[in-house]
């Protein structure tokens, strides 16, 4: 995923999208979330989990 694509993401994204931006697979991302080691802030919405795009940018060193 390019920097431009990451910067164009909406306010919150799926774990799979965040994993792609981080260069890892979704299974690894969910494993890190379970161990509370995921580098970006996650948000629980019922049975769905989203990732804060601002915290994803920060984890990737793209924060303004």
3-state secondary structure of 41: coil
pLDDT of residue 64: 61
CA–CA gap between residue 37 and residue 39 (Å, rounded): 6
Token pair listed for 29: 């991302």
pLDDT digits (tens, 9 = 90+) for 4-27: 899 889 999 999 999 999 999 999
Torsion of CA 35, 39, 40, 44, to 10 degrees: -10
Structural domain 3-59, CATH architecture: Orthogonal Bundle (1.10)
Confidence of residue 39 (pLDDT cuts 50, 70, 90): very high
Find out whether 17 and 9 touch, Cβ atoms under 8 Å: yes
């Amino acid at each position: 995923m390019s920097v431009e694509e990451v910067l164009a993401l909406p306010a919150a994204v799926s774990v799979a999208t965040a994993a792609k931006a981080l260069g890892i697979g979704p299974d690894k991302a969910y494993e890190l979330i379970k161990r509370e080691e995921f580098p970006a802030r996650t948000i629980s919405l019922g049975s769905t989990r989203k990732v804060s795009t601002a915290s994803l940018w920060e984890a990737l060193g793209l924060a303004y």
